[in-house]
Structure 1
Amino acid sequence: MSYRKCWLVLIFIFLSISAHAQLQSPSEFLGYELGSEWTPHHKVMDYFWHAAEQSPLVEGESYGETYEGRQLMVVYIASEENVDQLEQIRTDNLKRTGLIDGEPANNQTAIVWLSYNVHGNETSSSEAAMKTLYELTRPDNDRTKQWLQNTVVIMDPMLNPDGRDRYVHWYKETVGADPNIHEAAREHHEPWPNGRTNHYYFDLNRDWAWLTQKESRQRLAKYQQWMPHIHVDFHEQGHNAPYYFAPAAKPFHNAITDWQEEFQYTIGRNHAKYFNENGWLYFTREVFDLFYPSYGDTYPIFNGAIGMTYEQGGQVGLSIKLQEGDTLTLDDRLTHHHTTGLSTVETASKHAGDLVREFEEYYEQSNTEPAGKYKTFIIKGDNNPDKIRSLFALLDRHQVRYGKAKTDRSLEGYNYATGKSEDIQVTEDDYLVSAFQPKSVLARVLFEPQPQLEDSVTYDITAWEQHYAFGLEGYALTERLEVEVADTPQQANPDPVSVTGQPYAYLLPWKDIADAKALAALLKEDINVRFTQKEIRLDGETYQPGTLVIPRADNQNLNPQFDQLVQQVATEHHRDLVTVSTGFAASGVDFGSSSVRYLAKPHVALLSGRGTSSNRVGEVWHFFDQQVDYPLTMINTDYFENIDLDNYDVLILPAGRYSDILGEGKMKELKAWVLSGGKLIALGRSNAFLAGKEGFKLKKKEIETDSLDQQRRNTYGGNQRKRISEFNSGSIYKIAMDPTHPLAFGYGDDYFSLKRNAAAYGFLENGWNVGFAKEDAHMSGFIGYKAKEKLQDTLTFGVQEMGEGSIIYLVDNPLFRAFWHNGKLLFGNAVFLVGN
């Protein structure tokens, strides 16, 4: 071959490789037309990494993985010049907030964050993400190139890979050669638990503030590094609904600024322009409000951004016939999301200077003139240190600053425990969260005693205050107090526990869920444990009911490893391990008393599957698997009929529809199991199923119906308002407790409960009314006046003894969304202590 021919071949090979290495469209890369089938997680990730490798406008970054090991990642999209300056743009933006020190450069680059597929079965958005990524980076797209001159776009293509793959794999197994457009077809009806939630069946779109899930914590860490000016969460709603985009519905939380509200209109008008051109139906200002702080739109808003939810009709297969006769396809759905995604970037670019300036002013006000009634929030220093640490761990993740009081002061403040303003004492040992800080608005939202609703028609719970959630005493002050930098209370026993000799017994106080986790570890090591039902005074110390007693006499079979095992558990769980040399109490009961009960190692089962609420099942699963690390057997309702309950000591009923699951025969077996020593725990709405059934002492309390005259005055248009009067979506109640009962061990006379509905039950006539709502029990959040009347003097937590066993009625679910920290010990009491 001649020299010239060799060069021609080499040039041809080079051009072929170069052409092959160029950025491909999603359809070219995937090998099928985008919108013709679902794209599984790994292929979506592959395409985003492909864009990062091939486009000079894209930089990719992995930020974690899911519980099932799937990758989480983001890409940064900007002009070539700005891609080289991403770190400068990022740090300049954080300097505007005051979260890091220094003066920002005069850079007017807007930061837009687009989040896709937080609900796994709302699948069109990740498909749209690929198309949007391509259009933003396509070399011949001059329009988007112009936007990227002053805008950085951050895209998270899939917030919930586990849920999405659960849906996608099910659909691929279910669909035939061609999609079936009829609504009745099985491909439009997912089986339990469906793909909406993550591995533990948690709704990640309600976890932004609480960060109970691994995915949420990893995502927020990355979000905090950027603090974008706009954040969009892409969703789907019922398939017959037109597209929804900003502006959002009322009520708005009153912490939302006029600018944030106005800019939603600016964005909405730009979207409407494109939807009008294409003749697509849409709606705004309905249904999706901005109040609950843990959504993907509200959390960014309370961090200074323009937060928005976009909702496309969907949650079905590849194509479906609509009520008006048209067919909605996956291509339609992703195209609509793609359109609003690009429109958002376009609007941000047009108003980049305004966005940056308003964002900077937002944080300037936060640091110097914070809005809101209260300026300082107090956490008393003598609270349980485990609870303080748990709260501060959450505040650290949100970059909410705290410290200690500089001096002792006598002031007037709002007492969370009483719900009243009164004279209070602040000491140098107390912790303070000041409103004068970068995260002022978020701090206000988390600690405000009574968040104000401008309208009672809202989408979610209306109360979440953190003193109540963590079981902490404290105050809210209208006065600013100076805060001194202070560390979080130290964990007990940072070094290995060292004990000399051979103690008669070890004691572990029972005050927090951390103690329940230590108990679970002891039981897993087959260490025999007791707990005291009465107060013990020994060596000058008083040990409250619930204190764990680990006697050497009960653990002779573990010698010589007994001491090592107990001390190892205490060290690993940072517990204050008390050693005693005698079982003879100075006062109260001795260790051999019948009031120091042997704590049998429970075998726990949870009913799950079809008919049960997957969210409520997930909360229990997560409690055992991730919070206390104790074995749990999940039994599906499909085969529950054939299960021998004698293999279990505890059966948990989450909320569900049980009429088909627990028929007459199974109910008879269930009662026989309880009579012979089983423990049945009814959570939340499952109590409604048991109420009034033979042998169960729980009875519903009915609300009085309207008079005939009132019924005549009722109107169709006023029906929603009428129903609101009977409604309680989620408010905080002060529950009177019986601290002498094992279900209430670790608590005082009161417990603050998140009450999520108006389900009202009378007191148990033959049972223990451990927790109940008195007349003035309502503390925070909206509740209709009729619901409030109905809930007066009603049971919240009760225990019925049935033969050798017991039934525990937990009318309020203490595990709701895993964020009500103070309820977790109560559930631990139900599992481990009650009935022993």
Structure 2
Amino acid sequence: MKTLFLFFKLSFFCVVSLFSIAICAAPQVDTIFDSSVTFDPTITEPESFLGHRLGDQMARNDRMIAYFQELAAQSERVKYEVIAYSNERRPIVTLTITSVDNHKNLAQLQAQHMSLQQGATPELIDMPVVSWINFGVHGGEVSSNDSALPIAYHLAAAQGKEIDKLLDNSVILLTASMNPDGNSRESAWNLKYSSQVSVSDPNHALHGSPWPSGRTNHYWFDLNRQWMLQQQPEPVGWVNKFHQWRPNIVADFHEMRSYKSFYFHPGAPDRVHPIINKQAMTLLSDVVQGPRDFLDSEARAYFNEEAYDNFYLGKGATYPHLYGSLGILFEQASSAGLLSTPRGILSFRDNIRTYYHVGLALLNNAVDKKTELLSFQQQFFSQAKEQAKGDKVKAYVFTAPEDPARLFHFLQLLERNKITVKPLQKDLKTNGTQFFANKAYIVETAQASYPMVKGLFSKVTEFENNTFYDVSGWTMPLAFGLQYEPLTRRNYKVGDPIKVTFPRQSDVPMAKVAYAFEWSNYYAPKVLYKLLSQGYRPRIANNEFQANTDKGLHTFQRGSVVVSTGWQGGSNNTELHQLMNDAATKEGIPVFTLNSANTQSTGMDLGSNNIEPVSLPKVLLVVGSGMSQYQAGEVWHLLDQRMSMPVVLLEKWRLNSVKLSDYTHLVMADGTYSDMTAELTDKVTTWVKSGGTFVGIGDGAKWAGETLLDLNTVSMKPGNGSAQPRINYSSKAHLEAQDIVGGAIMAGDLDITHPLGYGYSRREIASHRSGLLAFEPPKNPYATIVKIAKQPLLTGFTSAENQQQLAGNAMLVGQRLGQGSVIVFTDDPNFRGYFYGTEKLFMNSLFFSKLFSNPRPLAAE
């Protein structure tokens, strides 16, 4: 595709046909770079390397990476480093760019910079500022990726006093592309629909990439929501790099809707998380003066301090604020190629040029504000220390004794966010909850990462502004399903800080009669699937029972898995033993051996009919146009990456033709259901009645609940009053926000005796809610698996009226339909890959969907 390079300051003539194809006679400006800048001729220009002009087409990710390698080979200013690999094994590259002299002392400069956070007071005037510019976290935001190329070239090849000042006084980290898998999908689409003649009609295929969009990574996660969560390999790599340097500024380059102008931080002042240092926003405004001046010089429209926020702590422009860095978001209107918009024709090439100049202006401005930035970071950690001293909460204690693997993943999250954890060494009881020594942990607030400790552990339910760009609540112990309490006194005993390791169990002795393990273990579904797929016949205990085991007398809870060594169809017991040993040593599951079918339970020996068989699930996940790539990706990632279970991804339009009887489970998440014809509905209904299980999440739950189960969704009623009051229009946005559940965490009452509640030891459960969908309690009194609590809000924003109307209704419903089952979740049990506390509910819907029954009909009188 050839695009026409347009400057807003240049005059040009466009003729737009009836089909909105723009034919523009415009002066052709061949360079993105200012003519006043001279470049080292021995350094290869990006256009010479790529073989096309920047902006004529998207640069392929592999060519971008190869170009960065070329720059590092040619310029002593540039160091090339792979900081991570994507799910598709593409490298994520960071260039470290500074003067040759700084490179010679880089390790010393890094140590000196990091010493600011330990209270050191070096001569700030002699220290370089550390600036990190990152590109392409959303792979479909095309100018964000490609503008990294001219910036990297400029930093490597520009000559003169200005570049010398910049490189002598700063260490620059440049990362691109942060999402190479999504970027590769987008560039393939771009090249597929490239053409010799530029087409600006927004209906042209080039201007809208297919499902899944390049915005997301391989598993369709939005990586710009993963800085704090780090549930994907890409953010694990970047955040680790961030903590190696703790840069003074972190600039995050994006694109937004084409009808908008240009945005950069600071955002809305009343939508900043309370833990963020107030001085940060003032200093941030000073640091972006360079980009502001450039845009003003070209009479380009932009806006600050509205629309976007700094509330959710897991975004690239917010996360750095928790560690004394300034996160800065840049958003410019997307062009994709050449696009006609209400503000005029946008050019991909011009967008690249804009970000090139904005990026350099920011880096130079950071040098001008070097002393202020370094002083701020130095003071930040001193202030955080003082804040911790004044905090009435001195520590948080937490545990999950029933599931060491889930606890491990929480500890791993803390470690990745540089939070110090200590083991509890003496039993502690607080607020009615008992925490046992060596099974619970303490996070003290008096530590260098105090702001992030508060960000992860605090519950926030009151806000200055109830409008949110992203979720409003994410308290991590709730998401992980942990028992936890804040401690206001230092009445606990702890050991030395821990190093997080996976809780591998000891070898399992050979069993004479059976092996057994608890379903509460996070990776129990993975082991159960492996047993079933290899032809073994595990069974599920529907009641608790006691048995003598190799570890002594043990009480097995409902949902425990029992695998007999006999009656396995001739399967090799040595191989079964190896599977059970792997479950203990690799998956962290305590496996027990039983040498008698006789147990200590009255009427519950191993041959009991209350220990039922389960079948191998064959899961069909509906994806494609009309479905939420985020929720579908969460399911795919959970089953594929964590549970090693195959899942068939079926595009929605193929539902009409696929043979459903080849599958046991059909999973449908958020999406559009208006195209579910009567014929297709009948097909799904017949399949369920014949023995299939439908699992719906969000809109999928709504469709199935209303269509397959005849459930009523809760009607959210407006406020009291017979007459509608007159309201000023200026209040519209604020008042409408009251009707939105801004990604809050809600409390529920879980029936732990129901098969869909197996693996849980407490009835209280927290789930992520992003809407007002709920079901009225079904007529079947056993079908409400999770009932929304009377006072449901745990953290985040939901209006008091909405809380009242949601209370007492159903979040999770499971009901039989013929020989099959329908299981519907109004909340997302797999949200963003970090809601470990509710993922078990989803896994139960796959393995235990036939272990329950509808109530018997009453006998006629």
State TM-score, norm by structure 2. Answer: 0.89
Aligned to 2:278: 258
The 3-state SS of whatever aligns with 1:162 is: helix
Deviation of residue 257 (structure 1)? Answer: 1.0
Aligned to 1:84: 104
Aligned to 2:115: 95
Match of 2:288 among 255, 268, 279: 268
Q: Does structure 2 retain, via aligned residues, the 8 Å contact 1:506–1:549?
A: yes
Aligned to 2:478: 468
Q: Describe the shift of the 1:69–1:424 C-alpha distance in structure 2 as closer, same or farther (beyond 3 A).
A: closer
Aligned to 1:828: 843
Residue 575 (structure 1) aligned with residue 589 (structure 2)? yes
Q: Describe the shift of the 1:488–1:829 C-alpha distance in structure 2 as closer, same or farther (beyond 3 A).
A: farther
Aligned to 1:244: 263
What are the Cα deviations for residues 733-759 of structure 1, in whole angstroms up to 9, with x where unaligned?
110111110110111211111112111
The 3-state SS of whatever aligns with 2:706 is: coil
Q: Describe the shift of the 1:479–1:319 C-alpha distance in structure 2 as closer, same or farther (beyond 3 A).
A: farther
Unaligned stretches of 5+ residues in structure 1: 1-18, 412-421
Kindly tell me the number of residue pairs found equivalent between the two proteins: 800
Residue 347 (structure 1) aligned with residue 365 (structure 2)? yes
Aligned to 1:201: 220
Q: Does structure 2 retain, via aligned residues, the 8 Å contact 1:243–1:311?
A: yes
Comparing 256-265 with 805-814, greater Cα deviation is found at 256-265
Task: Give the aligned residue type for 2:581.
Answer: Q
Deviation of residue 680 (structure 1)? Answer: 0.6
Task: Give the aligned residue type for 1:497.
Answer: V
Task: Give the aligned residue type for 1:341.
Answer: G
Aligned to 1:366: 384
Q: Does structure 2 retain, via aligned residues, the 8 Å contact 1:512–1:825?
A: no
Residue 778 (structure 1) aligned with residue 763 (structure 2)? no
Task: Give the aligned residue type for 1:293.
Answer: L
Q: What is the distance in 2 between the residues matched to 1:385 and 1:649?
A: 30
Aligned to 1:816: 831
Aligned to 2:495: 484
What are the Cα deviations for residues 564-602 of structure 1, in whole angstroms up to 9, with x where unaligned?
333334333222111112222322522222211101111
Comparing 101-110 with 384-393, greater Cα deviation is found at 101-110
Q: Does structure 2 retain, via aligned residues, the 8 Å contact 1:522–1:569?
A: no
The 3-state SS of whatever aligns with 2:530 is: helix
Aligned to 1:402: 421
Q: What is the distance in 2 between the residues matched to 1:506 and 1:424?
A: 32
Q: What is the distance in 1 between the residues matched to 2:183 and 2:122?
A: 40
Aligned to 1:446: 456
Residue 788 (structure 1) aligned with residue 810 (structure 2)? no
Q: Describe the shift of the 1:424–1:493 C-alpha distance in structure 2 as closer, same or farther (beyond 3 A).
A: closer
Aligned to 1:608: 623
What are the Cα deviations for residues 664-709 of structure 1, in whole angstroms up to 9, with x where unaligned?
111101111111111110012222223432x423211112235675
Residue 806 (structure 1) aligned with residue 821 (structure 2)? yes
Q: What is the distance in 1 between the residues matched to 2:364 and 2:120?
A: 30
Match of 1:436 among 440, 443, 446: 446
The 3-state SS of whatever aligns with 1:485 is: coil
Q: What is the distance in 1 between the residues matched to 2:367 and 2:655?
A: 57
Q: What is the distance in 1 between the residues matched to 2:212 and 2:396?
A: 40
Q: What is the distance in 2 between the residues matched to 1:484 and 1:268?
A: 45
Q: What is the distance in 1 between the residues matched to 2:721 and 2:350?
A: 50
Match of 2:520 among 508, 511, 536: 511
Task: Give the aligned residue type for 1:336.
Answer: T
Comparing 786-795 with 666-675, greater Cα deviation is found at 786-795
Q: Does structure 2 retain, via aligned residues, the 8 Å contact 1:372–1:444?
A: no
Q: Does structure 1 retain, via aligned residues, the 8 Å contact 2:138–2:215?
A: yes
Residue 45 (structure 1) aligned with residue 65 (structure 2)? yes
Residue 689 (structure 1) aligned with residue 699 (structure 2)? no
Match of 2:537 among 516, 528, 531: 528
Comparing 330-339 with 21-30, greater Cα deviation is found at 21-30
The 3-state SS of whatever aligns with 1:558 is: coil
Aligned to 1:763: 777
Q: What is the distance in 1 between the residues matched to 2:249 and 2:426?
A: 41
Q: Describe the shift of the 1:279–1:428 C-alpha distance in structure 2 as closer, same or farther (beyond 3 A).
A: same
Deviation of residue 452 (structure 1)? Answer: 4.9
Aligned to 1:415: none
Q: Describe the shift of the 1:565–1:647 C-alpha distance in structure 2 as closer, same or farther (beyond 3 A).
A: same
Q: Does structure 1 retain, via aligned residues, the 8 Å contact 2:131–2:249?
A: yes
Task: Give the aligned residue type for 1:466.
Answer: M
Aligned to 1:418: none
The 3-state SS of whatever aligns with 1:713 is: coil
The 3-state SS of whatever aligns with 1:610 is: coil
Deviation of residue 408 (structure 1)? Answer: 5.8
The 3-state SS of whatever aligns with 2:410 is: helix
The 3-state SS of whatever aligns with 1:557 is: coil
Deviation of residue 492 (structure 1)? Answer: 5.2
Residue 177 (structure 1) aligned with residue 190 (structure 2)? no
Task: Give the aligned residue type for 2:571.
Answer: L
Q: Describe the shift of the 1:91–1:483 C-alpha distance in structure 2 as closer, same or farther (beyond 3 A).
A: farther
Q: Describe the shift of the 1:668–1:752 C-alpha distance in structure 2 as closer, same or farther (beyond 3 A).
A: same
The 3-state SS of whatever aligns with 2:570 is: helix
Residue 123 (structure 1) aligned with residue 142 (structure 2)? yes
Aligned to 1:551: 564
Aligned to 1:590: 605
What are the Cα deviations for residues 149-192 of structure 1, in whole angstroms up to 9, with x where unaligned?
21111000210111011011111112322221111222112211
Q: Describe the shift of the 1:564–1:140 C-alpha distance in structure 2 as closer, same or farther (beyond 3 A).
A: closer
The 3-state SS of whatever aligns with 1:124 is: helix
Aligned to 2:55: 35
Q: Does structure 1 retain, via aligned residues, the 8 Å contact 2:505–2:589?
A: no
Q: What is the distance in 1 between the residues matched to 2:58 and 2:262?
A: 21
Q: What is the distance in 2 between the residues matched to 1:437 and 1:383?
A: 29
Task: Give the aligned residue type for 2:685.
Answer: K
Aligned to 1:456: 466
Aligned to 2:17: none
Q: What is the distance in 1 between the residues matched to 2:397 and 2:385?
A: 18
Comparing 287-296 with 568-577, greater Cα deviation is found at 568-577
Residue 329 (structure 1) aligned with residue 347 (structure 2)? yes
Q: What is the distance in 1 between the residues matched to 2:327 and 2:799?
A: 29
The 3-state SS of whatever aligns with 1:553 is: coil
Task: Give the aligned residue type for 2:755.
Answer: P
Deviation of residue 272 (structure 1)? Answer: 1.7
What are the Cα deviations for residues 132-153 of structure 1, in whole angstroms up to 9, with x where unaligned?
1222233424312212221111
Q: What is the distance in 2 between the residues matched to 1:710 and 1:731?
A: 31
Task: Give the aligned residue type for 1:29.
Answer: F
Residue 192 (structure 1) aligned with residue 211 (structure 2)? yes
Aligned to 2:30: none
Aligned to 1:416: none
Q: What is the distance in 2 between the residues matched to 1:486 and 1:472?
A: 20
The 3-state SS of whatever aligns with 2:766 is: strand
* Cα-Cα RMSD: 2.2
Task: Give the aligned residue type for 1:717.
Answer: S
Q: Describe the shift of the 1:409–1:705 C-alpha distance in structure 2 as closer, same or farther (beyond 3 A).
A: closer
Q: Describe the shift of the 1:373–1:459 C-alpha distance in structure 2 as closer, same or farther (beyond 3 A).
A: farther
Task: Give the aligned residue type for 1:609.
Answer: G
Q: Does structure 2 retain, via aligned residues, the 8 Å contact 1:374–1:448?
A: no
| Aligned-residue identity in percent | 25
Q: Does structure 2 retain, via aligned residues, the 8 Å contact 1:385–1:489?
A: no
Deviation of residue 105 (structure 1)? Answer: 7.2
Q: What is the distance in 1 between the residues matched to 2:243 and 2:633?
A: 27
Residue 498 (structure 1) aligned with residue 516 (structure 2)? no
